[in-house]
Chains A and B, each alone.
Chain A
Amino acid sequence: MHSIDYDIVIIGCGPAGAITAREAAQNGLKVLLVDKRQELGAPIQCSGALSANALEDCGVDASTEFVQEAVYGFSVYNEIGAETNLDYRELKPEKYGTGLGQKPLGYVVDRRRFDRYLVTLAERAGAEVWLKTEGLGYKPLDDGTCEVYLRKFNKEISIRTRVLVGADGLQSQVGKWAGLQTHIKMTELASCLQFVVDKVDTNGLLEIITGHEWAPGGYAWVFPKGHGYAEIGLGVIRTMTKENAQWHLDHFIKNSFLKERLQHARILEIQGGGVPLAAPLRTQYATNLILVGDAARHVNPITGGGLHTALTGGMIAGNFLAGLIHADQPATAENLKGYQENWLDKLGNKMWQLYHTKKEIFETKDIEQRNRMLYDTMADYFNPLSSYKKV
């Protein structure tokens, strides 16, 4: 066997890639983590809401370096403004609040700072990080290793490694290199736009606005963003409306039951992206290759949240690969299937259930009934007594 350069190479320094790298490096693997960007997390394509549990689950402190604002619950609205208020400061004051012995339920994070913070953790654990380095392709070799082709500051480099991890996000190409079916259907990709704004008051809650009128196929949101800023955004399924996300966001701000509160909004940042409200990929591995995070469509199909699942997926991937490589097992597709099995066990099966719930809601033809189903599901999902197993 030729000598290898790194045990694993990870393409993409988002939350999924960074945590995979940290776990693998902590467990003694030689890790290379690359990203094509010059500044991680930018341009922002995320609202940054994540639960305190998500950070705890992967052992990351809620550092002031990236937290924009602590949040304490949810407020879910139906299409005409009836509200289910789920303020955990009132529902569970023994645990949540700003006082002594109390804590936040979650946070809104700045993805630029969050992604950089996570990459720092990976580096400190021993992973090597290259920015301005784009993944171009890979080729499995006869000896069981593979070659990964990169371009770093215009220089083409080939690296020999055991496993390539595709953590390259929504626009993932790595899965396609291996011929995996990664394409997301138009009916399952929410087209999102959001504005970070000044002059909109918030109250430490994540506000979720349902209703076909405002966000067909998805929902709208108002999140606190720290320092008195807020974020207004929405996601729509384009097969359910003639208009684009930009039109819907404008319509929501000008005409919804929140219009008085939103009328003085001053736009400070414009962000957007796609959120897969899809089932996780059926096959997330191939010879010498696994996928994690958005690249594997590890996104909660009810909430559209992908940070918790990216972080947890990274934990699972990093630990699995460390186990495999320390056991001197070759990175065959058959062996790497174990990663997907671990993932299904810890996370994936719950996500499949959420996917079926989501499908049932949005396949309901009657708009009023669909509105009611989405509102009830959202209100139930975020309730502390909910039967949903949160992911």
Chain B
Amino acid sequence: MKSNTPVLFQIGWNACINCGACVAVCPQDAGFISAFDTIAVNTQCDIACMVCEDICPVSTITHTQNNEFYEEGL
């Protein structure tokens, strides 16, 4: 599930248990976090290693590739 294109993460908040596992495994510098103990959701991720998606105990993290995201006009 490696991708080199920058991505934006989405979190299905309904399933998220705010456990912080995604943050612990994230190789980004300080501050790549949301207000709910998760990785950032509105900041582009250039590393795009996707380990956060794998560690999530309830698989509630998904992503869109950032160029697609803009094309869709979101």
A residues near B (Cβ < 8 Å) are 43, 45, 137, 169-173, 176-177, 183-186, 189, 191-193, 238-239, 244-246, 270-274, 276
Contact of A170 with B59 in the complex, beta carbons under 8 Å:
no
B residues near A (Cβ < 8 Å) are 17-21, 23-27, 29-31, 33, 37, 51, 54-59
Contact of A274 with B31 in the complex, beta carbons under 8 Å:
no
Contact of B24 with A170 in the complex, beta carbons under 8 Å:
yes
Q: A193-B57, A272-B58 are in contact. Are A183 and B20 (CB under 8 A)?
A: no
Give the residues in chain A near B54, CB-CB below 8 Å. 186, 238-239
A174 CB to closest chain B CB (Å) equals: 8
Q: Report the nearest B residue to A236, measured CB to CB.
A: B57
Measured CA separation A154–B37 after assembly (Å): 17
Cβ contact of B20, chosen from A137, A177, A239, A274, cutoff 8 A: A274
Can you list 11 A-B contacts with CB-CB less than 8 angstroms, sorted by A residue number? A43-B17, A137-B30, A170-B23, A172-B24, A173-B31, A191-B56, A193-B17, A193-B58, A246-B57, A273-B21, A274-B25
Contact of A184 with B20 in the complex, beta carbons under 8 Å:
no
Measured CA separation A170–B33 after assembly (Å): 13
Cβ contact of B24, chosen from A137, A171, A238, cutoff 8 A: A171
Q: A43-B17, A43-B18, A184-B25 are in contact. Are A189 and B55 (CB under 8 A)?
A: yes
Contact of B57 with A183 in the complex, beta carbons under 8 Å:
no
Interface majority SS on A: helix, strand, loop or mixed? Answer: mixed
Measured CA separation A191–B21 after assembly (Å): 7
A196 CB to closest chain B CB (Å) equals: 13
Give the residues in chain A near B17, CB-CB below 8 Å. 43, 193, 270-272
Give the residues in chain A near B29, CB-CB below 8 Å. 176
A-B complex: 10 closest residue pairs judged by Cβ atoms: A274-B21, A176-B30, A171-B20, A245-B57, A171-B23, A273-B19, A193-B57, A272-B19, A272-B57, A238-B54
Q: A184-B24, A189-B24, A274-B20 are in contact. Are A171 and B57 (CB under 8 A)?
A: no
B28 CB to closest chain A CB (Å) equals: 9
Measured CA separation A244–B23 after assembly (Å): 17
A201 CB to closest chain B CB (Å) equals: 26
Q: Report the nearest A residue to B30, measured CB to CB.
A: A176
Contact of B21 with A189 in the complex, beta carbons under 8 Å:
yes
Contact of B25 with A186 in the complex, beta carbons under 8 Å:
yes
B45 CB to closest chain A CB (Å) equals: 14
Contact of A186 with B23 in the complex, beta carbons under 8 Å:
no
For the A-B complex with A189-B55, A246-B57, A274-B25 known, give 14 more contacts whose Cβ atoms are closer than 8 Å. A43-B18, A43-B19, A45-B20, A137-B30, A170-B20, A171-B24, A184-B24, A189-B21, A192-B57, A245-B58, A246-B59, A274-B19, A274-B55, A276-B24
Measured CA separation A176–B28 after assembly (Å): 9
Give the residues in chain A near B55, CB-CB below 8 Å. 186, 189, 191, 238, 274
Contact of A183 with B58 in the complex, beta carbons under 8 Å:
no
Q: Report the nearest B residue to A271, measured CB to CB.
A: B17
Cβ contact of B25, chosen from A172, A177, A183, A271, cutoff 8 A: A183
Contact of A183 with B19 in the complex, beta carbons under 8 Å:
no
B8 CB to closest chain A CB (Å) equals: 20
Give the residues in chain B near A171, CB-CB below 8 Å. 20, 23-24, 33, 37
Give the residues in chain B near A137, CB-CB below 8 Å. 30
A342 CB to closest chain B CB (Å) equals: 25
Q: A191-B55, A244-B58 are in contact. Are A274 and B30 (CB under 8 A)?
A: no
